[in-house]
Amino acid sequence: MLHVISLAAPNPVTVVPGDLVEVVTTFSYRGKAQAVPVYAGIGHFGLFGWNPVEPNENTTSVAVNSPDGFSTYQASVLIRIAENLAAGSYDVMARVEGHSETEARADGVITVPGGGGLGDMLTMILPLLMLGIVMPMVTGAFAENEEAAPIE
């Protein structure tokens, strides 16, 4: 399924692995004619900046030419949602490569729903299983020590 996220007016989307997300961004340019690389990715903004979830990112090229003044250009970058994208909320970021001032982002606009499969069940049940295995060993060890050293 194709989902479109415009960073000018982002709307949240829910995706699953295999979906396509089209990230649409705009930027201003003044200068000679050339093709500029535009990057877009899915990830998280953290303490140290952008942290992409690879390979959920892509780059496209946009032809620009504006020697007399700034012109606004639009770029669309397609990103295929990979199998490794875990359940949760994700941010989207796009920029002209090498020009951080063109960065546009939207926080928490991509949601990957929880799987509810066997892995999720094991994550919930595993602590209970461990407790069930460890508790008899611990209580049994105390009982043995009490029997080994009777109080007179």
Is 70's pLDDT higher than 80?
yes
Q: Is 5 helix (H, G, I), strand (E, B) or coil?
A: strand
Residue 120 pLDDT level (bands cut at 50, 70, 90): low
Is 106's pLDDT higher than 80?
yes
Q: How far apart are CA 144 and CA 25, in angstroms?
A: 70
Count of Cβ atoms closer than 10 Å to residue 58 Cβ: 16
Residue 123 pLDDT level (bands cut at 50, 70, 90): low
Mean pLDDT within 123-149:
64
Q: How far apart are CA 63 and CA 31, in angstroms?
A: 12
How high is the pLDDT of residue 6? 92
Residue 11 pLDDT level (bands cut at 50, 70, 90): very high
Q: How far apart are CA 20 and CA 81, in angstroms?
A: 6
Q: How far apart are CA 52 and CA 138, in angstroms?
A: 44
How high is the pLDDT of residue 49? 87
Residue 133 pLDDT level (bands cut at 50, 70, 90): confident
Cα-Cα-Cα-Cα dihedral sign, residues 54, 83, 36, 9: negative
CATH number of 2-112: 2.60.40
83-93 pLDDT, tens digit per residue, is: 888 899 999 99
Is 22's pLDDT higher than 80?
yes
Bigger pLDDT: 33 or 131?
33
Is 26's pLDDT higher than 60?
yes
